[in-house]
Structure 1
Amino acid sequence: MQGMSRIAAPTALACAVSMAQGMARAQSVETFELNPIVIESLAGDGVTLTDEDLLRLDPVDLQDLFRTEPTITVGSSIPASQKLYVNGIEETNLAVTIDGARQNNKIFHHNATTLIDPELLKAVRIDPGVAPADAGPGALAGSILFETKDAADLLAPGDDFGGYLSGEYSTNGDVFATSVSLFGRAEGFEGLAYFKHAGGNAMQDGDGQTIIGSGTSLLSGIGKLAYQSDEGYRVEISYERVNDDEARPYRANIGQIIGGRPVPLTRPYALDRENIVLSFEDATPEGLWNPLLVVAHSATDLDIVEDEQRSFGSTRSFNGKLANQSILAFGTLDAGLDFYADRAELDYRYLPAPEFNEGGTETARNIGAFAQARLAPLDRLDISFGGRVDYQRFEGIEGSVSRNAGVSGNLSGSYEILDGLTASAGASRVWGGVELAENFLINPAWVYPDGDLRPAVSNNLFAGLHYDFGPLVPALEGAFVKAKLFRTEIDDARDEEYRGGPALYRDVLSQGIELGAGYSWGPGFVRVGYANIETEIDGRPADSDLGQYLTTPVGQVVVLEVNHGFADIGLTIGADAEFYLEYDGTYDPYTGQRANPLPAYQVVNAFAAYTPPQFPNVTLRAEVTNLLDEDYASRATYGQEFDGVVPLDEPGRAFRISATIRF
């Protein structure tokens, strides 16, 4: 949605990302344009991936999407079981939206939280820790905003109709992917249709061993229809869906467990997620009255069918927002209401003995009021502050009701102390309410404590410095360095257990440091990032078992990226690398002893993309992933610290070739 592209992009660290790509620093609360994507600067910190980043990375899954961001970690080599961690905190503790639709995807701890096709995306915005009040309820550790493409994003200048056909082949697993899209506009109307299919065999790891359950079977698509009047009022409806249906490891995010009850190596997993979004807005905002209305339905289903049993989990969210943006002399003020009605349901059938069938449903309804100001009162000062009030009604599987209300607030700012030297800081306290249980843990025998469940509450802090050499050292125009400290505490995070009951809680802590530097020379750039993230659960080092849906051990990582374009011949080349250091601060909560260290690893990727000057509608790309054929599991992959767990390894070296034809 065009209007939803007004993604909040806090100044200090967002500008660091921009400068690494040769963009000028955004002053105050001005806007800058990346093709048709508009990003508004405000005070704070964050990670923004634009269409330029997505084109360069050409991601096939969440790991590819965030592989150059040191504070973002993705576990599992299979998209259907990938989990995203921001500053070490699992994404269900952040407010996640796709085109403005709230995501309620806590369905099975062995599965992905948000399955998404990156080819659909035109921008991603992450506010770690301190998130704005209008990001939505439940932003305990920040917010994640995914935005999909519109027809206007894909049409060439002056064209009213177009399309593209793309094909890709990867040698590891013989994976073929084909996507096709058509889009157009006429007399204020816009339309877009996109479809993708990817299929392939099981992949091999860096040691030449088959990765169990790693076959590819993906279907995704989106359809959009919009109308924009001459006055700028825009209405849009979209339907997006992604489906993964394939044999996966019996526990989809684990290679194997040695010992215990015997289970088959694989079982079928059918994971299906969809979004329906209707929006109305003023796409050319000015003055004090610029309304926005979003009504959305999002759903994720997981169906696991075995010889003697069937497990079906379903989450649903009906949600929306009614807001207004007032454009003031020194910035903007966004205020309004939002709501959700979420549902988590389990239906388990034991075929030989139906008396063992079981299931249950939890529901939560929330209404919130929010206001967020983004101001630049002085030439060198940006400030953002806001708050929200939420009221939640939670109903347990036996009909008990908990009613809770809370207040959240945030404040962040950046100040240019000297030419090129900017300091930023922020803090927030967030009331998160009571989160619905994971579908596959729901137990019809649960007894809720007098209908009262504790709402989660978090406190977030960050402080950073960013230095752009250009103003004082013109010879180093395009060079920057940055540093940031961050901390997130979540109290009373719900951690229900099938046998332990619905009212168990954990206290979670994540804290760390991020460093970065880069240099842009116009057609290219080089940048390096470092992060050291320490995480705890109940005052002890975090582990990947108790930490499911909460946090995971991370430690130290260095990422490196270099890119250069030769515009005269249509060639772009680039490479990136991740270096994870060994992490020995692990802990086994079941023995109370130190667990196995997480091994160090390094991964290198490289690519070349070519658009022949004589055929500007054709793009050819060649890429090698895991160039060194490293045998490893991603740092955020489950179980590496425990004896008896064979973690799910990442694919070994693969050569990818792709071709895209636009018309």
Structure 2
Amino acid sequence: MKIFYLAALLLGSAMVPELATAQPVRLDPITLTADVTGSAEIAASEEQLDDARTGTLEDVFRAEPSVTVGGGITIAERVYVNGIDEQQLAVSVDGAAKNNRMFHHTGTNIIDPLLLKAARVDPGVAPADAGFGALAGSIAYETKSALDLLEPDDDFGGQVTTGYATNGDTTTGALALYGRKGPVDALAYAKRASGNAYEDGDGNIVPYTGADMNSYALKLSAQMGDWRAELGALSFKDDALRPYRANLGGVIGGRPTPETRRYAVDQNSQTLILRRIAADGLLDPELRIAKTESKVDTFDLPTAETPDPDFNTGVADTASVVAQNHFDLDGVAVTAGVDNAHSSGLYDGMFRGTPSTFREERTNTGLFVQARGSRGPVDFSTGLRYDWNRFTGAGGQELNTDGASFNAAATWKATETLSLNAGYSTVFGGTQLAGVYEFTDFYLLQDAYNALDPTRAQNIVLGAEWTAGDTTLGAELFRSSIDNVRKVMAGAIVDRDLESEGFRLSARRDWTGGFAALRYSDADVTLDGEGASSFDLRELGTVPGAMLTLEARHEVMASLSVGGVVQHAIEEETKGSDTDSDWPSYTVVEVFAEYEPAAYGNITLRAEVNNLFDRTYVDRASYGGDYSEVVGQQEPGRSLALTAVMRF
């Protein structure tokens, strides 16, 4: 009965009456749209990114139930797409491939939303040019450049962003300076966020959760005739005392551990892009050279009993090169090229008094071609990859594999109001690297990796979208299965089969000056065909179950907008063999008002109330909700946040 109830609810919400307003403004869409990738691409709008300017990735994707973000603090945030961990997706920043293999108690890719120009998710079916390892889709982040921020007639500008949130007394300050001179343009950016530990909805302090973040960016670009060169560098740092397990409030019983330890997180990337901008449809080449690195250090605190405590360092990095050409063949856009990526995972430290160092490496070379086009009422996309994967284990063991990947998708505009879309992909994943904190002496044995077979995924998406006037209804079925995904169990390396399947429903109503969008997603994640616990799914997935969101925005008058997001997690029964707690339901409401004074067109003022009704809850995508002995990391209670942006 649940699906029929939800369908009725969605249809009813689409009938929101039009509201009168003084200004005829049509806001950019935020909901899913069928495009030529064949899968329902999820893209954050400019408004969503602006809403999250002093927040985190959780705020960027808050209104999209198919993309969940777990972790109460920034360094613990992990992104899941249809319940699949981002470690099983191809993730890139400005085209630079990220190495997602980090500590399972921390996040893998931390992005400053204030820098974002675009955040795009291809769930399930991803194109061949998204890069190697798009097992269950891809996530692509693009950051702003000077040309994105400069006004058309200006050669220099700047932006100051300040923010304050009452819960935790968190302050945020950011400065961006940008300009251009002749063929050269540049952007320099710095941001600092600091605060105290926040309170949960019951008024209890959640220890060691205070903000302590620094973010930097530098972009230099130059146009040389028909060519443009872009050099970019991004950096994120967080260094503070955190819970001993950064994504948990604690564990009742089990191995005794201290309450806290110091986490030093440093993520950075450098990208050089050379591309031809005088496109002629035949020779439009692009070269990308990039290096990304994620490093997490943990330091236990010295005590009288342990004056020389444990310390751990984990580093996951990737150096990549992509050479590709974009050309047009009878109206079909084709991208063809070659990419090469060398990735490594390093652990070095002292654990339980024993020093050790382990390293794994992987080099992947791929050839790819992707075609996108339209023929009559059909938009289509199809592509091929072939990858050669060279893996070296911690003890020097070698596993060399290769395989092909294929994707095909189409959207058929059946009528003026109805479109149908379908997509399929089979993806070769080679041999996966371990998380950098997973290594043990077992990895040094010559037969340690014998159980590993090449990872391969199958994805299918079927959807429909109906639009009549200002009302849009959408429905989608999805399934992603990943065979031979790597997992560490009881000190051994084994293959597991991971699967996510479910559906998504959406309804949207636009009116003059605003919109309301209702979205529902229900994903069932299994391991080896059986229900799994959050412990079993570490670095593989999460148990999102059913999630419902309502998003609305309206321009009340010129320069004044109001809106908000409601998230509702529906109770989910535990399906793990060793779990004893169901996932509770919760409802969280966030509202805002944003004002741009007519007399000061360069100033934006924003007030928002997060967790309006002061709910006490652990985010559905956070670890441990299915174990009574695990104290989940509570999300912040009610907080009033004020933000001011001044452009000059």
Counterpart amino acid of residue 364 in structure 1: R
Q: Which moved more, 1:406-415 or 1:552-561?
A: 552-561
Pair 65,574 (structure 1): closer, same or farther in 2 beyond 3 Å: same
1:188 to 178, 183, 189: 183
Structure 2 residue 426 is the aligned partner of structure 1 residue 437: no
Unaligned runs of 5+ residues in structure 1 are 1-18, 29-39, 470-476
Q: Which moved more, 1:265-274 or 1:520-529?
A: 520-529
1:491 to 483, 496, 499: 483
1:78 to 73, 77, 87: 73
Give 3-state SS (helix, strand or coil) of 1:134's partner.
helix
Pair 228,536 (structure 1): closer, same or farther in 2 beyond 3 Å: same
Aligned to 2:418: 421
Aligned to 1:325: 326
Partner deviation per Cα, 1:150-192 (whole Å, 9 max, x = no partner) = 1111112211110011110000000001000000112111100
Checking the alignment, whether the CA contact within 8 Å between 1:42 and 1:375 is kept in structure 2 is no
Pair 448,387 (structure 1): closer, same or farther in 2 beyond 3 Å: farther
Deviation at 1:229, TM superposition (A): 3.5
Q: How does 1:195-214 map to 2 (within 5 A)?
A: 195-214=190-209
Aligned to 1:32: none
1:518 to 501, 508, 513: 508
TM-score by length of 2: 0.92
Unaligned runs of 5+ residues in structure 2 are 1-24, 303-308
Structure 2 residue 387 is the aligned partner of structure 1 residue 390: yes
2:550 to 542, 560, 581: 560
Deviation at 1:236, TM superposition (A): 0.6
Structure 2 residue 620 is the aligned partner of structure 1 residue 619: no
Pair 522,111 (structure 1): closer, same or farther in 2 beyond 3 Å: same
Aligned to 2:407: 410
Partner deviation per Cα, 1:410-440 (whole Å, 9 max, x = no partner) = 0000001011200000000000111111111
Cα distance between partner residues in 2 of 1:127 and 1:548:
22
Which runs of structure 1 show a deviation greater than 4 angstroms over 4 or more consecutive aligned residues?
22-28
1:142 to 124, 137, 142: 137
1:234 to 228, 233, 243: 228
Give 3-state SS (helix, strand or coil) of 2:40's partner.
coil
Aligned to 2:491: 500
Cα distance between partner residues in 1 of 2:416 and 2:51:
31
Aligned to 2:315: 314
Checking the alignment, whether the CA contact within 8 Å between 1:50 and 1:122 is kept in structure 2 is no
Give 3-state SS (helix, strand or coil) of 1:504's partner.
strand
Pair 376,279 (structure 1): closer, same or farther in 2 beyond 3 Å: same
Cα distance between partner residues in 2 of 1:429 and 1:448:
31
Aligned to 1:15: none
Cα distance between partner residues in 2 of 1:500 and 1:305:
23
1:250 to 244, 251, 254: 244
Structure 2 residue 589 is the aligned partner of structure 1 residue 604: yes
Partner deviation per Cα, 1:496-541 (whole Å, 9 max, x = no partner) = 24x522x312111100110001111242111100111111011111
Deviation at 1:212, TM superposition (A): 2.1
Counterpart amino acid of residue 588 in structure 1: G
Cα distance between partner residues in 1 of 2:332 and 2:31:
17
Q: Which moved more, 1:255-264 or 1:446-455?
A: 446-455
Cα distance between partner residues in 2 of 1:562 and 1:315:
39
Structure 2 residue 283 is the aligned partner of structure 1 residue 294: no
Checking the alignment, whether the CA contact within 8 Å between 1:542 and 1:552 is kept in structure 2 is no
Pair 192,567 (structure 1): closer, same or farther in 2 beyond 3 Å: farther
Checking the alignment, whether the CA contact within 8 Å between 2:37 and 2:127 is kept in structure 1 is no
Aligned to 2:306: none
Pair 381,109 (structure 1): closer, same or farther in 2 beyond 3 Å: same
Structure 2 residue 524 is the aligned partner of structure 1 residue 530: no
Aligned to 1:543: 533
Aligned to 2:397: 400
Cα distance between partner residues in 1 of 2:432 and 2:93:
19
Structure 2 residue 305 is the aligned partner of structure 1 residue 274: no
Partner deviation per Cα, 1:448-475 (whole Å, 9 max, x = no partner) = 4386531110100010000110xxxxxx
2:161 to 149, 166, 183: 166
Cα distance between partner residues in 1 of 2:596 and 2:615:
31
Counterpart amino acid of residue 549 in structure 1: E
Structure 2 residue 436 is the aligned partner of structure 1 residue 456: no
Partner deviation per Cα, 1:248-271 (whole Å, 9 max, x = no partner) = 111111101011222221111001
Deviation at 1:197, TM superposition (A): 0.4
Cα distance between partner residues in 2 of 1:43 and 1:305:
47
Give 3-state SS (helix, strand or coil) of 1:583's partner.
coil
Cα distance between partner residues in 2 of 1:45 and 1:67:
17
Checking the alignment, whether the CA contact within 8 Å between 2:32 and 2:43 is kept in structure 1 is no
1:659 to 630, 639, 644: 644
Deviation at 1:444, TM superposition (A): 3.2
Give 3-state SS (helix, strand or coil) of 2:47's partner.
helix
Deviation at 1:25, TM superposition (A): 12
Q: Which moved more, 1:514-523 or 1:369-378?
A: 514-523
Give 3-state SS (helix, strand or coil) of 2:437's partner.
helix
Give 3-state SS (helix, strand or coil) of 1:357's partner.
strand
Give 3-state SS (helix, strand or coil) of 2:441's partner.
coil
Counterpart amino acid of residue 331 in structure 1: V
Aligned to 1:575: 564
Give 3-state SS (helix, strand or coil) of 1:147's partner.
strand
Structure 2 residue 473 is the aligned partner of structure 1 residue 481: yes
Aligned to 2:575: 587
Counterpart amino acid of residue 367 in structure 2: A
Cα distance between partner residues in 2 of 1:394 and 1:495:
16
Cα distance between partner residues in 1 of 2:29 and 2:514:
11
| CA-atom RMSD in angstroms | 2.0
Partner deviation per Cα, 1:65-97 (whole Å, 9 max, x = no partner) = 111001111111111011111000000100000
Deviation at 1:230, TM superposition (A): 4.6
Pair 346,468 (structure 1): closer, same or farther in 2 beyond 3 Å: same
Partner deviation per Cα, 1:40-59 (whole Å, 9 max, x = no partner) = 85543210113233124445
Counterpart amino acid of residue 311 in structure 1: N
Counterpart amino acid of residue 601 in structure 1: Y
Give 3-state SS (helix, strand or coil) of 2:607's partner.
strand
Cα distance between partner residues in 2 of 1:196 and 1:121:
13
Deviation at 1:396, TM superposition (A): 0.6
Checking the alignment, whether the CA contact within 8 Å between 1:106 and 1:437 is kept in structure 2 is yes
Partner deviation per Cα, 1:330-379 (whole Å, 9 max, x = no partner) = 2300000011100101011269x6xx21121000000000000001022x
Cα distance between partner residues in 2 of 1:612 and 1:101:
39
Partner deviation per Cα, 1:296-341 (whole Å, 9 max, x = no partner) = 0100111111221111111111112100011233230000001110
Pair 259,382 (structure 1): closer, same or farther in 2 beyond 3 Å: same
Pair 302,23 (structure 1): closer, same or farther in 2 beyond 3 Å: closer
Deviation at 1:567, TM superposition (A): 5.5
Cα distance between partner residues in 2 of 1:347 and 1:22:
48
Aligned to 2:367: 369
Checking the alignment, whether the CA contact within 8 Å between 1:510 and 1:533 is kept in structure 2 is yes
Aligned to 1:34: none
| Alignment coverage as a number of residue pairs | 615
Pair 433,522 (structure 1): closer, same or farther in 2 beyond 3 Å: farther
Counterpart amino acid of residue 587 in structure 1: K
1:101 to 67, 72, 96: 96
Percentage identity across paired residues of the two chains? 37
Checking the alignment, whether the CA contact within 8 Å between 2:54 and 2:172 is kept in structure 1 is no
Cα distance between partner residues in 1 of 2:237 and 2:416:
50
Aligned to 1:339: 340
Checking the alignment, whether the CA contact within 8 Å between 2:39 and 2:124 is kept in structure 1 is no
Counterpart amino acid of residue 435 in structure 1: Q
Partner deviation per Cα, 1:603-624 (whole Å, 9 max, x = no partner) = 0000111110100011111010
Q: Which moved more, 1:55-64 or 1:246-255?
A: 55-64
